[in-house]
Structure 1
Amino acid sequence: MYRFLLSRQWVILTLVGLVLIPVMIRLGYWQLHRHEHRVAQNQLIADNLDARAVPVDRLTGPGRTVAYDEMWRTVTAEGRYDTGHEVVVRQRTAADDQTIGYYVLTPLVMDDGRAVVVNRGWIPAGNDLTRFPKVPAAPSGEITVTGRLKRDETTGNSGIKDKKGLPARQVMLINSEQVAKSLSEPVLGGYIELTKSSPKGSGQPEVVPEPDHSGIGPHMAYAIQWWLFSAGVPIGWVILVRRELRDRAAAREAEPAPEPVAAGA
């Protein structure tokens, strides 16, 4: 009755189903791991944003990579802005995630002679992208800055291509090693995403909003979806087999009965 399963068509269909089941299960676990990572990251962001502010040099130093667990920690630094080595970061969006502009990066030379990169915030791009934009003047004199500690951006961790041949004092990535090439002072690894400063100064760039850590994304729903798909493969296979058997039975019933053979024929 089931000899049709050995036909070329059914062998291929069965093999495809056997391949799809583990692939879909694996995709489901991949989405589950992404969900777990998102939940853990949201918790880390929330905890670090709520943590007590500490001096930036407690968490990083020259040539050091900011530890993942220390990202988004509130840090402070005191010193003077070095506006002569200020640069802007191209193709960054405002808080509405739609308007394109620049981030303003200004080194802060601390009292101990070391420097830390400060992302002072966002400004609109203007009409001429080939020129250094008009940047609001940084507060002068002794400054105390407070902000979120961030890791250096690279093409690998940000997905942003580090284009060459840009106009003077324009960059694609926020990277302390790149900034350090133009400074004589040792530069701390990572950078500070400014939230407030004292004195504040007037007409300053738009402060970068804190990272969204409320949503968990659709990854769990996708995981369940893939697992339902994997369960549906054998169910669908059984349905197709039963349909094939039903169609073959109906075909046999529709065949005309053989003519009786006359006696003596």
Structure 2
Amino acid sequence: MYRFLLSRRWLVTLLIAVLLIPATIRLGFWQLHRHEARVDRNELIARSLTDPPVPYDSLSAAPGFAVPKALTWRTVTATGQYDPAHEFVVRKRTDSSGDKIGYFVITPLVLADGRGTVLVNRGWVESGASAAAYPSVPAVPTGEVTLTGRLRADEAAGGSLKDRGGLPDRQFNLISTVQQAKETGATLLGGYLELTATAPAPADQPELLPEPNHSDIGPHMAYAIQWWLFTAMIPVGFWVMVRREAKDRRKEAAEAEVAAVAVPA
């Protein structure tokens, strides 16, 4: 009764089922690894934000320093004077709500200890009437200031971040110390400071960036479980199809036998 499994149609169906099983298992583990990466990221951010602040140049003490993942989001401080002459903005960035597109304002801070210059992301400002015009930006505080912020790594082109040329003066697509060092010739320490507080406090400043979300673990674990449930359903579904086919064939055979008996000699 199960000889139909040797037919071309059923052999192809069986082959598809056999190939689907390892594929869906792999997709489940892919989602699991994404879940684990999200959890690790959240734990890193939470730990970094609660660690005591340290001087910026105690972590990034040289030009071209690539901020490692373990130090990203670490709370740092820096004391010095702003260099507004080399200030620039980074295009196509959203405000804290994510609804408005504008610019990040990046101003170099010359460290008081003479060890170099730090790029400071002072926050977000809205776009002006023309994308070609430099936006209206609150002036930097004069004199020596002490900044507190989050250590961030240089941005690199990829994904939604594109490094295209031909932009208006003092407008860029990336926050990159390597790029800015070539532009200005300054000795820039690797990475940048994402500002959270200034002492003394300025009268006006760009919209500070919010603390990164480190509570949302995303849907990846649920997706992993769904893929593995689908994996389990493949052989069950195949067996249900086989039993149904066998039942239908038995029914057809029985009906044919009854019809044959009913035919007069």
SS in 2 for 1:19: helix
- Match status 1:142 vs 2:144: yes
Code of the residue aligned with 2:91 in structure 1: it is R
Match of 2:75 in 1: 74
Alignment of 1:50-61 (within 5 A): 50-60=50-60, 61=62
- Match status 1:245 vs 2:243: no
Code of the residue aligned with 2:246 in structure 1: it is L
- Match status 1:232 vs 2:233: yes
SS in 2 for 1:37: helix
Alignment of 1:1-265 (within 5 A): 1-60=1-60, 61-111=62-112, 112-156=114-158, 159-255=160-256, 256-258=259-261
SS in 1 for 2:183: coil
Code of the residue aligned with 2:58 in structure 1: it is R
SS in 1 for 2:109: strand
TM-aligned CA distance change 1:122 to 1:260, over 3 Å: closer
- Segments of structure 1 that go 5 or more residues without pairing to the other structure are none
SS in 1 for 2:184: coil
Name the TM-score, length of structure 1 as normaliser: 0.95
Q: How many residues align?
A: 261
The alpha carbon displacement at 1:221 in A equals: 0.2
Following the alignment from structure 1 to structure 2, what is the Cα–Cα distance between the partners of residues 48 and 261? 91
Kindly indicate whether the alpha-carbon contact (under 8 Å) linking 1:73 and 1:149 is maintained by their aligned counterparts in 2. yes
Following the alignment from structure 1 to structure 2, what is the Cα–Cα distance between the partners of residues 13 and 164? 53
The alpha carbon displacement at 1:81 in A equals: 0.7
Structure 1 outlier segments of 4+, above 6 Å: none
SS in 2 for 1:62: coil
Following the alignment from structure 1 to structure 2, what is the Cα–Cα distance between the partners of residues 149 and 260? 91
Following the alignment from structure 1 to structure 2, what is the Cα–Cα distance between the partners of residues 68 and 167? 32
Code of the residue aligned with 2:28 in structure 1: it is G
Larger deviation, residues 145-154 vs 108-117: 108-117
RMSD: 1.3
Cα displacement string for residues 4-41 of structure 1 (whole angstroms, at most 9, x for unaligned residues): 11111111110000000000000000100110111111
Following the alignment from structure 1 to structure 2, what is the Cα–Cα distance between the partners of residues 88 and 202? 20
The alpha carbon displacement at 1:258 in A equals: 4.5
Following the alignment from structure 1 to structure 2, what is the Cα–Cα distance between the partners of residues 113 and 254? 94
